[in-house]
Every structure is written in structure tokens, then in C-alpha cells.
Structure 1
Amino acid sequence: MKLFRDEAIENQKGKVYGDIVLSAPKMYKYYIVVIVILLVVALFFLWLGKYNRKEIVSGYIDPVDGVIKVIADEPAVIDKILVSEGAQVKKGEPLIVFNRGKSTLSNKVVSDEIVTSLQKEIDLVDQLILAVNQKSDASILQTEEAIKSHYAAIKSLSLEQTIINDAIGLIERKKNRLLKLKKSGFVSEIDVENVDLEYVNLAMEIARVKREITNLENLISERRRALDVESQNWKVEILNLNQRKEGITKELINASVMNSYTVRSPIDGVIDNVFENAGRQIFPGAPVLTVRKAHAEMIARLIVPVKSSGLISTGQKVFLRMDAFPYQRYGVISGTIRRISTSPMTPGQLEMPITVGESFYVVDVELKNAQKKDGNAGLILKVGMTLKAEIIIERHSLLSYLLSPLKSVTKQYEVNPS
């Protein structure tokens, strides 16, 4: 048995107190569900999301071993630059010739007069050497021609001697025949004497020819000895002239060395920059060109102000944006801090392509993806290129970042409870 009707009981279900009916629409329930889901997602995002604390500093590209600057030791004028940018050089290879004498007008005049005088002496000695050589050649040729003519005369006299000997043989046979005829009474004594006279004349001719041949042979020997002595004298004279020329040349070299000097490459490497041209006057300490090691590893040198250096340490990641390459197209270059200078440096203490107005530390960054390419264009890093660097100092979750003020207040309360 029911005390109340079913309709009355159903009517009283929505009441709490009094006669006011609280009836919430179903849409409110959906809103609550959505809000709860959004809160959960937000908490999840705050928990997983990361906040990077970073420092942005300037820097430039440099070889790991740095570059060597070639400078003038004293006031001088560049006579010659023997290399060009990008040229490969060996250790000890001449790079630049400086001239001290041209740095002032008075020194230049004196230097030019000395060099001109010595050069004239060298030219004069060269002319003397040429004249002596020509005279020696002419004299030797004349003597050799005379010796040849003597040999020709000896050959002619030898032929004449042969003919006379043949004639003597004929006369001897003629005399023998006449002697036989004389015994028979066919010829007189006078005929025999005439033949004897002819024989004597021919014998005298033979003696004359032999004497002339001997004289010519002796003359040839004398001329040969004289030619040897003359050749030796010419050689001695030319040697003396060459020694004189060598002495003058040494004086010229010494004069040139006193007024000029050559700078040579201290390493095997590559010429990076040539700052001056031949003929320019420079002063002590002025750079003329730079040399770096061939195939040297490129690094980024960051200039970190002292006020920003507190949380920087080796191993931290760095992202570089090159000023010469738009990062929207080429992206950024990643790297890792390799070395941090142990003590700060002051402005002007380090030569670099950027300007700093406060004390700083030098941070070396090892590059990771410096050879990134964009289509056919390669990202080629050159010494001295400037850049902006982002150093990731700390990484926190967003939730931790939002709660950091509360943590700070808590720490202050722990330190000072009152």
C-alpha cells in the first residue's frame, strides 16, 4: 500500500529545499566535460612543453689554428707582392719584397746612385769579358790558320823533295851511262862533269828543302807552345774579370739587402687576404697579407660579454645564423661549444671583424653542418664572416617556468622565515 501517488513522488525528485526547483540544462554538462578535457590537455602541454633559455651573441668564422698576419717591421715601400689570394704556399717561400731605401726621398736617391754605379761597373766588366773573349778567339784563330799554312807549305816542300829525289835518280843513271860511253870514247870528260854539276845542284836543292821543312816544323812547335801560353793567359784574364764581376755583384747584393728585405711564409698554407699593392708605403705593424694552414678546420669564435657568460659551459648547443647567408634560405648551422677562454679580454686586445664595447670571453664552437647546400649553391664559409649565435643555456618545462615565481618565494621564505 502506497502512501503517496507515483506522480507526487516523481514531482518531488527535483526538489532540494523549499519550493524552488533547480533544474540544470544538459548543455551545462557538456561544457563542463569540454572544460575538463581542455584543462587536462593544457596541463599535459605544460608538463611536456619545453622552455629554452638562451643568449644571443655575435661572432665570426676563423680557422682552428687562427691566421698569421704578415706585417712590416719598419717603414718601407712594397717592391713586389709575389703571391695572390688563394695561392698555395710552402714554408720558406718568398711572399713580399720590402724596400727600406724608398721610404724617404734622401735614402732613395743615395740607394739609386749606389745601385746604378755598381750596375754600370758590372756592365763594363761584361763588356771587357766580351772583348777579351773576342780578342782571344781572333788570336787563337789566327795562330791556328798560320799553323795550317805551315802544314800546307811542308806538304808542298815534301812534294818538291820527292820530285828532286826523282831527278837525282835520273841524273845518277845518266852519269852511269855517260861513264860507260866515256870508256868507249864516245863522250868527253866535260859531259861527265856537267852531269856531276847537275847532281850537286839537285843535292843542294834537297838540302834546302829539308832545311825549310825543319824550320817550318820548328815554327809550328813554337806557335803551338805560344798558343797554349796565350790561351792560358786569356783564361787567366777572363777569370780575373769574372772575379771582379763577382765582387761587384756581391757589393750590389749587399747594397740591395741593406735597402730591401724579403718576407717568407712561416708555414705551408693558403693566402687568405692581400691588403696592399706594390708601390704602397707602409708603416711598422701594418698588415700586408694573411696566411692560414691549408685545409684547416673552420670554427666559430663567439664574443660573449662578461655579463652573459655566467651559465655558458662546454658541450652546450649553439645555433649560428650567418650574416652572409639568409637563414630563411640556408637555415642555421648547429654546433657545440668546444672551448671557453679562461680570462676575459678587453676591447682592442683581440683583432677581429666585429666591434665590442665591453669585456668579453672568447668561445670556440665546433661546427656540425657547415657544408649544408641549397640546390646547387654551397654554403662556403670564409675566414672573417660574421654571424649571430644562439647559445642554449637551460631547458625547462613550461610548467616549471610558470611555477618558478612560487619556487622563488618558497626559497626566500626558507632562507628568511620571519
Structure 2
Amino acid sequence: SSDTQNGEAGGAQRAISLSIKRRQESLTQEIDETLALHQQELEGKKRQVEALETEQQKILAQIDLARQRLALTKGIAERYANLQRQDYVSRDQLQEKEDAVLDMRLRGEELNRSLLTVRAESTRLRAELVELPFNQSKQLADLQRRLAESQDQLVESETKREILITAPTDGEATALSVANGSRVDSARPLLSIVPADATLHAELYLPSRSVGFVRVGDTVMLSYQAYPYQRFGLQPGTVSSISRTALPADEVMTLGNVSEQMREQGPFYRVTVALASQTIEGQGKRERLRSGMQLDADIMQEKLPLYEWLLEPLRGIGKRL
């Protein structure tokens, strides 16, 4: 991936992404807390319903007892009424028993009202228990919707900040020239991808004054900088192609460490060399060559290195002199 913005714009986009991530963390925590509160609320209402059921049973027992006491009190009052008609008890004594009957009736009515109140509260709580899962689901759905929206916003923010580049084929990334967070030059390659099981070849860049006598099929002796020729020897290759057009020196400069002296010799022609072997032998084992290795090369012409061909014009001048 690669940043599409830099400087203040890139920093602002990163700040937006960080803000969205913090909001996501807050929403995730709120969802977890809401789930816990919902469970507590559900269990609390169930306990209330159970308590009301217990209270209702107690009131029913008290009502039954009050009915029995009312019947008993009424019987006593009736006997006192008979006795009072025979003047065995006073009117005040009869009135006392009749008042007791009235008190028991009032007590029964009070218990009935309490029973109705408890039943109404129990009915209300049961209705809330039925609606509670729907209300909780609605609340959670709202939080999850907000979380999903923030995820979409994060994806959009990251899309503005990054571009995903997919390689056209499987392979190995080599010659990585950048680190995470570093600035990049749009004119310089960031890395190279060597296709899996690819055949490596060497690329040479010759100044225009040196390419005239180079031909396809010429033998090339290669010395890899990673494997000094003093220990590993020179490795053969064959010129397989020569570019028809020259490359500007500035373009060649982006390909690796090129000296200013060489830059002044441009433009350059690209010469492709087919390697005789994809490995090099040393220290009793064979090492596979890697993409991006730098090398020195001598193109053999009439069994002479190229640098001697460069001296040929001087020899011609000497003969004329």
C-alpha cells in the first residue's frame, strides 16, 4: 500500500482514522455494558414478579383468615342480639360486637384492595418482561448500526489514505528501498517483485559510445559483487538483446547506485544477458542468485575486454600520426 497524501493532509487523514477507531472502541464498550445491564434488568424484573407472587399468596391467606374471623364475629354478634332482646346483655355490649363485625368487613375489603394492587403490579411487570427483549434488541441494534457506520467511515478514511496495489502474479518482493512511514520519490521504484520460479537475467547499461560493436550472442563474463571473483571466479553469460533506443541518464540513475562520472557518459543502452547458470558455486555448495544483485561485466569481443575496444580510436589516431 502507499499513502496518497503527505504532509498536513496525510496527518489530518490519520487523525480522522484514529478518531473513528476511538469511537469504535467506545461503542464496543457501550455494547458490552448494555448487554450486562440488560441481563441485570431482566433478572431484576423476574425477581420482582416472584416477590409479587409470594405477596399475593400471603394476601390470599389473610383474606381467607379474615373471612373465617368475619363469620365467627357475625355469629357472636347474632347471639348477643338474641341475649339483648332478652335483656341478658346491655345495648352497649351488643354494639361492641356489631362494631367488631364491621371492622372485620373493612379488613377484608382492605385486603382485597391490596390483592388487586399486587395483581395489577404483577401484570404490569409480566408485560414488561414480554416487551423487554424487543426493547433491548432495538437498543443493541442501534448501537451495532452506529458501530457498522463507523466501520464504513474508517474504511472510507483508510481508502483515502492508502492504495492497495496487487501484484499481477505470485512472487518474491526484493530490493525494498523504503521503511514504514518514510517519504517516497514517485520517480523511484519502491521494490521489485520476482515471479515465482522466474529465470533471472543480467541487465547492463552501456553508454552510446560503447555499444556500437556489441552483438547478440557475444560472450559476457560476470562478477557478482556479493561473490567476489577472486574466490568465486567469473560467471559466463551471453548477450540476448540490445535495446534499440537509449535511456536518459536520469532514468538509469533511479535503478541503483550510479556515479556522477557514469551519469555524464549517458544516454545508455540496455543490454540483456542470459545467464549460463541461475546459481553460483562456492564453499562446497551452490547458492541461488537473487534479483537485484549488482555486478560488473566484461563483454568479450575478439577475446578482448570492452575497455580495450574503447582504446581502439586512440590507436587509430596514433597510426595516422
3-state SS of 2:128 partner? helix
1:129 positional shift: 3.8
- Equivalence for 1:245: 147
- Aligned partner (choices 321, 331, 335) of residue 223 of structure 2: 321
Distance in 1 of aligned mates of 2:275 and 2:295: 14
Between structure 1 and structure 2, the one with the greater Rg is 1
Contact 2:225 2:293 in 1 (8 A): no
Q: Which residue of 2 aligns with 1:19?
A: none
CA 1:293–1:390 in structure 2 vs 1: closer, same or farther (change >3 Å)?
same
Report the equivalent of 2:249: 347
- 1:390-409 matches, within 5 Å, as 390-393=299-302
Indicate the SS of the match to 2:130: helix
C-alpha change, 1:283 and 1:122, in structure 2 (3 Å) is: same
Equivalent position amino acid for 1:385 in 2: Q
CA distance, structure 1, for counterparts of residue 13 and residue 278 of structure 2: 53
For 1:348, what is the secondary structure of its paired residue?
Answer: helix
Report the equivalent of 1:29.
Answer: none
1:299 aligned to 2:206? no
TM-score by length of 1: 0.48
The answer as to whether partners of 1:118 and 1:252 remain within 8 angstroms in 2 is: yes
Alignment of 1:216-295 (within 5 A): 222-258=124-160, 260-267=161-168, 268-295=170-197
TM value normalised by structure 2: 0.60
- CA distance in 2 between counterparts of 1:121 and 1:375 reads 59
| Separation in 2, partners of 1:334, 1:369 | 8
- Note the C-alpha offset of 1:253: 4.1
Equivalent residue for 1:138, pick from 40, 55, 74: 40
Q: Distance in 2 between matches of 1:139 and 1:341?
A: 79
Distance 1:286 1:325, change over 3 A: closer
CA distance in 2 between counterparts of 1:310 and 1:108 reads 49
Query: Number of aligned pairs?
Result: 252
2:5 to 100, 107, 123: 100
Deviation at 1:284, TM superposition (A): 3.6
Q: Equivalents in 2 of 1:140, 1:127: separation in Å?
A: 20
Question: Are 2:295 and 1:386 equivalent residues in the alignment?
Answer: yes
Q: Deviations over 1:393-413 (max 9, x none)?
A: 589xxxxxxxxxxxxxxxxxx
Quote the sequence identity (%). 17
Is the contact made by 1:319 and 1:391 (CA closer than 8 Å) also made in structure 2?
yes
Q: In 1, Cα distance between the equivalents of 2:16 and 2:268?
A: 54
Q: CA deviation at 1:299?
A: 1.0
Q: Distance in 1 between matches of 2:186 and 2:31?
A: 44
Match of 2:277 among 336, 361, 369: 369
Matched AA of 2:167: P
Opposite residue 251 of structure 1, the aligned amino acid is Q
Classify the secondary structure of the residue corresponding to 1:234: helix
Consecutive unaligned residues of structure 2, counting only runs of 5 or more, are 69-103, 305-321
* Cα distance in 1, alignment partners of residues 14 and 211 from structure 2: 59
For 2:165, the aligned partner's letter is: R
Higher relative contact order (CA 8 A, sep 6+): 1
CA distance in 1, matches of 2:267, 2:14: 51
Q: CA deviation at 1:261?
A: 0.8
Residues 374 and 249 of structure 1: is their aligned pair in 2 closer, same or farther, counting only changes over 3 Å? closer
* CA 371–120 in structure 1, closer or farther in 2 if over 3 Å, else same: closer
Partner amino acid for 1:100? Q
Asked whether the 8 Å contact 2:240–2:272 carries over to 1, the reply is yes
8 Å contact from structure 2 (residues 225, 295) kept in 1 = yes
Partner SS state of residue 146, structure 1: helix
What is the CA deviation profile of residues 357-396 of structure 1, one whole-angstrom value per residue up to 9, with x for unaligned ones? 144432222111342413335454332312122324589x
Deviation at 1:272, TM superposition (A): 0.9
Q: For the Cα contact (< 8 Å) 1:316–1:393, is it kept in 2?
A: no
Higher helix share: 2
Matching residue's letter, 1:266: A
Find the counterpart in structure 1 of residue 51 from structure 2. 149
Greater Cα offset, 110-119 or 376-385 = 110-119
**Contact 2:226–2:293 (CA under 8 A) maintained in structure 1:** no
Secondary structure, in 3 states, of the residue corresponding to 2:247? coil
Provide structure 1 residue ranges, at least 5 long, that are not aligned to the other structure: 1-95, 168-200, 396-418
- The CA distance in 2 between the partners of 1:286 and 1:345, in whole Å, is 15
CA 281–142 in structure 1, closer or farther in 2 if over 3 Å, else same: same
Rounded to whole Å, the distance in 2 between the matches of 1:112 and 1:313 is: 54
Match of 2:309 in 1: none
d(CA) in 1 for partners of 2:174 and 2:187? Answer: 18
Greater strand proportion:
1
1:15-61 CA distances to partner (integer Å, 9 max, x unpaired)?
A: xxxxxxxxxxxxxxxxxxxxxxxxxxxxxxxxxxxxxxxxxxxxxxx
Cα-Cα RMSD: 4.1
